[in-house]
Structure 1
Amino acid sequence: MIWDVLNVIGTIAFAVSGAMVAMEEKYDIFGMYVLGLVTAFGGGVIRNILIGIPVTTLWQQELLIYTALLAITLIAVIPSKWMKYWRKWINLFDAIGLSTFSIQGALYAVQLHQPIVAVIIASVLPGIGGGVIRDTLAGRKPIVFQKEIYAFWSILIGIVIGLKWFQQDWELYLLGIIIIILRMISLQYNWRLPIRNLDKSIS
């Protein structure tokens, strides 16, 4: 039940973030729904393809699909002045989604007896895949590759679960809470990975 609730929260956060990017880019209402849905579900679909889960399992998530559609619709109709309240909470919801989707992705790969590399990939893709697709469709450089420590937390989850350090339910809940806290701290203090380009040394 707890995972179901967290799944809903994460789906709302990802769908809203996609819809808000569409609004920032002045896309029409159709573009809002497309970006919202691919942000919420795109990473999970790619994960399923790579670790051997039928893509059609997406259609078994009717509650989450309807939840995403409702969240996008609300963003489309609420007054702009209310957006600031969404923005205050979106980072926390996004952190919950990142943590929850990454843990569940890693668990799917473990249940299929995949190697640790596949477990890490299955952990990372649900958390960042949709955002990468969203930014690409919006004509942006994917934020996850340049500005924030984001995918790193999913990689950490994949390693921990792949090595079977955390297996019990309470351990997985603890792991989820730790990752949410670390994600919020990294946002607060603007943590980022080193950047290396052709003109400068590592910064």
Structure 2
Amino acid sequence: MTWELFSIIGTIAFAVSGAIVAMEEEYDIFGVYILGMATAFGGGALRNLLIGYPVEAFWKQDVLFQIALLSMTIIFLFPHKLMKHWKKWENITDAIGLSAFAIQGALYAQKLNLPLSATIVAAVLTGTGGGIIRDVLAKRKPLVLRAEVYAFWTILAGFAVGTNLVATPIHMYLLFIVIVVCRMLSIYYNWHLPIKSLTNSSKSIDS
């Protein structure tokens, strides 16, 4: 039940995130649906491919496909005035999707009795894969490679689940909230991992 709930939360959040980015880039309704679906399901597809899970499992998610389509339709029909603050919506939905899918990916690996390393990789791919595909299709630099601390939170989720630091549903939900809050704090306070620029040394961060 916990795994299914995080699947639903992640699907809604990333479908909306992809749809918002598509509308910001002025894609038509077909582009909105394509980008939203790629964001919602891209990470899981990459994870399944890497861990060797049957590809046909991807097409057995009828309910999640319907949820994603409904979510994108609702956000597409939102009044224009509510969409003016799209950047805030994008950050929040991306953080929710990142957290939900990272935990879901880790639970997925644990369900298959995979080792800790595979659990962390599954969390990272599931949490960031859809966002990477979204940004590439939108011709943006992927958030995971440039933004405020991003992929680290998926590693944290994978480690917490893989080592059984969080094992009960209540602990899973608390971990979900913690990751969302940490992601939003990293945006607000502009936390970054060390950066070294070869084009402008004054922008480099060595600590």
TM-score normalised by length of structure 2: 0.86
Q: Secondary structure of 2:102's match?
A: helix
**Hey, what's the Cα distance between the residues in 2 that align with 1:93 and 1:142?**
16
Superposed displacement of residue 42, structure 1: 0.4
**Which residue in 2 is equivalent to 1:66?**
66
Superposed displacement of residue 122, structure 1: 0.3
Contact 2:11–2:97 at 8 Å: present in 1 too? Answer: yes
**Hey, what's the Cα distance between the residues in 2 that align with 1:2 and 1:160?**
15
1:126 partner letter: T
**Hey, what's the Cα distance between the residues in 1 that align with 2:24 and 2:83?**
12
**Is 1:202 equivalent to 2:205 in the alignment?**
yes
**Which residue in 2 is equivalent to 1:83?**
83
Contact 1:100–1:176 at 8 Å: present in 2 too? Answer: yes
Moved more, 158-167 or 38-47: 158-167
Superposed displacement of residue 47, structure 1: 0.6
Contact 2:116–2:162 at 8 Å: present in 1 too? Answer: yes
Contact 1:9–1:93 at 8 Å: present in 2 too? Answer: no
**Which residue in 2 is equivalent to 1:7?**
7
**Which residue in 2 is equivalent to 1:35?**
35
Q: Secondary structure of 2:141's match?
A: coil
Unaligned runs of 5+ in 1: none
Superposed displacement of residue 89, structure 1: 4.8
Superposed displacement of residue 85, structure 1: 6.4
Superposed displacement of residue 87, structure 1: 5.4
Cα deviation per residue 1:21-60 (whole Å; 9 max; x = unaligned)?
2222222222111101000110011111112222222333
**Which residue in 2 is equivalent to 1:119?**
119
Cα deviation per residue 1:117-167 (whole Å; 9 max; x = unaligned)?
211110011111011011111111112211221211001111222223222
Contact 2:12–2:68 at 8 Å: present in 1 too? Answer: yes
Change (3 A) 1:7 1:115: closer
Q: Percent identity?
A: 57
The 5 A counterparts of 1:1-203 are: 4-84=4-84, 88-199=88-199, 200=201, 201-202=204-205
Q: Secondary structure of 1:65's match?
A: helix
Superposed displacement of residue 86, structure 1: 6.2
TM-score normalised by length of structure 1: 0.87
How many residues of Structure 1 are paired with residues of Structure 2 in the alignment? 203
What value does the CA root-mean-square deviation take over the aligned residues? 2.2
Contact 2:135–2:143 at 8 Å: present in 1 too? Answer: yes
Unaligned runs of 5+ in 2: none
**Hey, what's the Cα distance between the residues in 2 that align with 1:93 and 1:164?**
27
Change (3 A) 1:5 1:111: closer
